[in-house]
Structure 1
């Protein structure tokens, strides 16, 4: 049985090392998931303490009434059952105006934005004439749906210009603050100024035929997607943002919502997750370069040296994760890339006894880390950048091996040997 060549054995060892390093990269990704879970747990804790996600609906006018249902029993008798129900009257026009200020709250090393501010609500109702025999008009009330945890004061409702005290109540589908109201046919106006608080997001319902919302905040990274309607106008500056929604004709029973999320621009975990996804490149590409060094420069590297070089590349991601939780992502990236790139390049220069190999490896790492950073900054073009990079790597590998390389293992290790093809016949 033919004994496997030294090249085959080395390739097998390198393949095993690659698999081990990929397993290590997977373990780093698992650690990243653990840290992200801890971050999200801290985020929820801060959010719940600050009132949670802010959401309001209404206001609506609620009129109780009773409905009698007769059910025929098997013995022929009729069972009478009286159900208490509610009729909801939505406003014809509704406008919100919010002015919000934010601050960072921390739990351990994690922080999240919370907000507080003023919410001004104005609405107009068109009331038709109701039968006092069916509806309990003397029990009608005006309800604004909002969580009591979102309130920083006990607001006052102004109904037709008169101030009314409020109380907490709930009916089917709604809960919030309410005030008794005397129903009269015609227009009813409502307004209130409410001091609110919350975290993570701010949203209101589109509960009128004509609804508008105006928001001013000092937060610089609002997220408007994820809601039924985008703002008609918005302006984002380094001091905050202003956004306006106008829905002049809408189905007030459709359950639409408008608002925004407080996006945390320093949340590095999504960037880190995408970075670790490219970890295999930081193993494969340096190994290809090292193998080409062996092929062309007649040096012999031990598999352990491949392992240590690859381990330094993989630990780059662990360093990036650890440092980015305490300092900015950009600075963390620079420090981690310098640590991994310089240590590996100097190691290669030392074991090969040739400084130029260290410089070549440094150039490879500059290209790798620049590519990764560009991919992280350009999420929409990550696939295009990655495809071009992979194509360039394969093309360069084809170029360097274009003459056909024959390897043999001798006393001096792996070396290159090119043999010309000789004919068996002489020219006649």
Structure 2
């Protein structure tokens, strides 16, 4: 039995060694097998990224979340009347009863100017960090004479001595300074627990005490100014409630992402490695809401604009993008060994292919683990050099020459450099990647032209 099986085993082994088709099938099978550890590595990267997201959210929750400012809004109570008829059974007559109701009008300023100065920094917890900021926001502007006749409200029905000013914000917790409204020659402090008149309290609204609103009804303009300081993260936005709204934002953040319905003016926008400066101007004809509203404050978040302060591509995103090219790296490396084996007639065992493939997958675990303690470039260099040196030395023991291992080392260096360049690019990644793959395909076609594919 043993003598019968040995010829069959030798025949199969010789077929693997001598047949180009058999070697191609073997290499393809090993590439597919190595997709299993690559999938686990991708899962590891995503798990670490989710962990980072949780830590960042926890840091931001304690420091301060995104900043959205909606205001200042003039809140003026007014009277409305309703009449009811009641039938008297004894007298067989109707008598009328008039009830008085208190409602509120919300008036937006005629002009709103905002000056925003943002100082960003990073907070660390373990291996993770979050970008946060402290911003000083100064608002100024003016209200014009308040007239609600267009809303069918008479001046004598307006309760001027009960008027207040309110500001809505998404980040009450992040406020780090006392807030005072300066209206004409008077100052008013803000307080929380805003009541919308229906016994519902809103914790995201600040409201002053009663203001001297009679001045607003009699004077041509009522000037105001407010200063507030926030600890926040992620983004800063305001809602353009002024008939003319302007905002100037300066920051030491080098990678701003302007967001919302309105972009800053290109003529005055400046972005450099030390920060940015941007100016916005929004007119009332640019947005679809009026300056006066009755009974409720409208939800105008869709009209907000501002800046996002987030890392464009963080370390885990770069690692994940790098791992997506894992299949390409393994396939091209195996292709190089396959061409060397076919052209030079050097025997390479499937186990040796497998060891080379596992070494290539180790690059990504090294990259993720090192990048948690250093920046991505250093991690990429350390992981890349380690894997290239390992495979080059291992190739020397397999191929028994210097020229082929040297060629393999240079090829891997070029391949990892090519992938790093693609990872760093945003707008041109697809273009550069397509050109690179076309050049690689051209080289492979040129080299493989000498192979006799009919032999096996």
TM-score scaled by length of structure 2: 0.81
Aligned residue for 2:133, secondary structure, equals strand
**8 Å contact from structure 1 (residues 124, 189) kept in 2:** yes
Deviations 1:133-178 (A, max 9, x none): 5444332211122242131122111111211222224356972243
Deviation of the 1:92 alpha carbon: 0.9
Distance in 2 between the 1:134 and 1:169 partners? 26
- CA RMSD between the two structures: 2.9
> What stretches of structure 2 of length at least 5 have no aligned partner?
1-7, 86-95, 149-153, 197-201, 290-299
Q: Give yes or no for the alignment of 1:187 onto 2:187.
A: no
Deviation of the 1:345 alpha carbon: 1.4
Deviation of the 1:248 alpha carbon: 4.0
Deviation of the 1:301 alpha carbon: 0.8
C-alpha change, 1:20 and 1:188, in structure 2 (3 Å) is same
C-alpha change, 1:103 and 1:377, in structure 2 (3 Å) is closer
Match of 1:178 among 191, 196, 208: 208
Distance in 2 between the 1:317 and 1:274 partners? 11
Deviation of the 1:67 alpha carbon: 5.5
Number of residue-to-residue matches in the alignment: 403
The residue number in structure 1 matching 2:287 is 251
The residue number in structure 2 matching 1:108 is 126
C-alpha change, 1:352 and 1:81, in structure 2 (3 Å) is farther
Distance in 1 between the 2:102 and 2:31 partners? 71
Distance in 2 between the 1:83 and 1:21 partners? 75
The residue number in structure 1 matching 2:89 is none
Deviation of the 1:209 alpha carbon: 1.2
Q: Give yes or no for the alignment of 1:148 onto 2:172.
A: yes
**8 Å contact from structure 1 (residues 208, 252) kept in 2:** no
Deviation of the 1:103 alpha carbon: 2.6
**8 Å contact from structure 2 (residues 52, 128) kept in 1:** yes
Q: Which moved more, 1:63-72 or 1:151-160?
A: 63-72
The residue number in structure 2 matching 1:16 is 29
Deviation of the 1:252 alpha carbon: 6.8
For 1:13-412, what aligned pairs fall within 5 Å after superposition? 13-65=26-78, 85-130=103-148, 131=154, 134-146=157-169, 147-170=171-194, 175-184=205-214, 185=217, 186-224=220-258, 226-232=259-265, 233-249=268-284, 250-251=286-287, 253=289, 255-264=302-311, 267-406=314-453
**8 Å contact from structure 2 (residues 60, 233) kept in 1:** yes
Aligned residue for 1:379, secondary structure, equals coil
**8 Å contact from structure 1 (residues 143, 179) kept in 2:** no
C-alpha change, 1:83 and 1:383, in structure 2 (3 Å) is farther
Deviations 1:307-351 (A, max 9, x none): 111111121122111111111211111111111111111111111
C-alpha change, 1:104 and 1:221, in structure 2 (3 Å) is same
Aligned residue for 1:200, secondary structure, equals strand
C-alpha change, 1:169 and 1:135, in structure 2 (3 Å) is farther
**8 Å contact from structure 2 (residues 73, 107) kept in 1:** yes
Deviation of the 1:227 alpha carbon: 1.6
Deviation of the 1:266 alpha carbon: 7.3
Deviations 1:91-130 (A, max 9, x none): 1100111222223212221111222242211121113345
TM-score scaled by length of structure 1: 0.86
Deviation of the 1:272 alpha carbon: 1.6
Q: Which has the higher helix share?
A: 2
